[in-house]
Amino acid sequence: MVSHRRSTQSGFNRGVRITVISAAAATAAATLTGAPASADPKDTRESAKAAVDRLYGEAEQATERFNEAGEHVDRLRGEVGRSQDATARGQERVNRMRDALGAMAGAQYRTGSIDPALALLLSADPDTYLERAAALDRAGARQSMTLDKLRHAQRKLAQTRAETTRALTELERNRAAVTRHKRAVEGKLREARRLLDSLPPEERAGFDRASRSGREGLPDLSGVAPGSARAMSAVAAAHQALGRPYVWGANGPSGFDCSGLMQWAYAQAGVSLPRTSQAQRYAGRMVPLSQARPGDLVAYRADASHIGMYVGNGQVIHAPYPGAPVRYDPVGMMPVSSVTRI
């Protein structure tokens, strides 16, 4: 089965080495194109199928890294927008303070070079001296306070600009990561398709059944104990997606990758899940597989690179891999790494 995402930001920024074909896949391809007369055709077919399965798994891992990098890009884009807005507001505040100080300076200049306090003492109206002196002190204090506020605003503006620059730099790095992961996925899928095309038509037609569960139609889910209301709502939503295509990097409604289906199904139940399978496995409480209920998320392989939804009677619904639509499969189709109750 294909495998599908919990990574740190550093994990995002690590590039996925784009391997057009793994050593094992290369061996399988060589066997297909130039197998010796003594080679067992069955062994040749099985090695090709194993290579395709492995390539699909590697593509799914790269897909989850692509999804995660895309999630970071969306978050950083929001941060950049907020920082740019804060920078614009800070600049407006600084400009207003500068205008106010400029007005004060212009007023002082127009009074001439005589010290304002001396000019007050020489006033022709000594009875109002104390009142005017107090007003002058207040004016000086206001000017000093405005200067302090201006200095603080300028420091804040410089800090915001620096944060915006850092966010923009990080955004560009994550955009580059998205591109790397996209190329990795496409390279794996191209090679898997090449190997599949190397198989005889009858083998190619039977690959889906041989490499995966072999299930056709809907499983018997009668008598299944219900989960929580929101879990059953998510199960119902996932059921509506049966037959829709696997589309890597997609989260519905017309196509899905594995984690995209889980996110979409729970969104229909009013529950927000993270985008990646690795993050989804930690989105709730982990329970033993023996206690799984409908709506629980079942993560596969040690890296949780694939995920499905338990529906009861030992079945999951999931988006398997490119070329296979959303469907039911046995929960034990691959090694289970965790079961999470949302």
| Residue 271 pLDDT > 90 | yes
Render pLDDT for 112-156 as a digit per residue (tens, 0 to 9): 544 455 454 445 554 554 555 555 555 556 666 666 666 777 777
Render pLDDT for 143-154 as a digit per residue (tens, 0 to 9): 666 666 667 777
pLDDT of residue 142: 61
What 8-state DSSP symbol labels residue 126? G
What 8-state DSSP symbol labels residue 15? P
pLDDT of residue 67: 84
Better-scored residue on pLDDT, 36 or 129: 129
Query: Does 258 qualify as catalytic in the annotation?
Result: yes
pLDDT of residue 78: 73
User: Catalytic one among 4, 72, 181, 318?
Assistant: 318
Q: How far is CA 276 from the centre of its chain?
A: 7
Q: How far is CA 33 from the centre of its chain?
A: 40
Better-scored residue on pLDDT, 229 or 47: 229
Inter-axis angle of helices 258-268 and 229-240, nearest 10: 120
pLDDT of residue 86: 73
Instruction: Tell me what the mean pLDDT of segment 246-263 comes to.
Output: 94
Q: What is the mean pLDDT of the chain?
A: 74
Query: Does 4 qualify as catalytic in the annotation?
Result: no
User: Catalytic one among 4, 72, 181, 306?
Assistant: 306
Q: Considering only 200-209, 259-268, 322-331, which range has the smallest mean pLDDT?
A: 200-209
Strand partners, 341: 285
Contact of 218 with 328, CB cutoff 8 Å: yes
**Top-ranked range on mean pLDDT: pick from 70-79, 155-164, 263-272:** 263-272
pLDDT of residue 220: 73
Q: Considering only 39-48, 151-160, 224-233, 285-294, which range has the smallest mean pLDDT?
A: 39-48
Query: Does 318 qualify as catalytic in the annotation?
Result: yes
Instruction: Tell me what the mean pLDDT of segment 308-313 comes to.
Output: 95
| Residue 321 pLDDT > 70 | yes
User: Catalytic one among 4, 72, 181, 258?
Assistant: 258
Instruction: Tell me what the mean pLDDT of segment 97-113 comes to.
Output: 60
Q: CA-CA distance, 253 to 1, in Å (whole number)?
A: 22
Alpha helices of 270-327 — where are they, by DSSP H? 277-280
Assign 157 a pLDDT band (cuts: 50, 70, 90). confident
Neighbouring C-alpha atoms within 13 Å toward the C-beta of 152: 6
> pTM surpassing 0.75?
no
| Residue 35 pLDDT > 80 | no
pLDDT above 90 covers a percentage of the chain that reads 32
pLDDT of residue 104: 60
Contact of 91 with 150, CB cutoff 8 Å: no
pLDDT of residue 159: 81
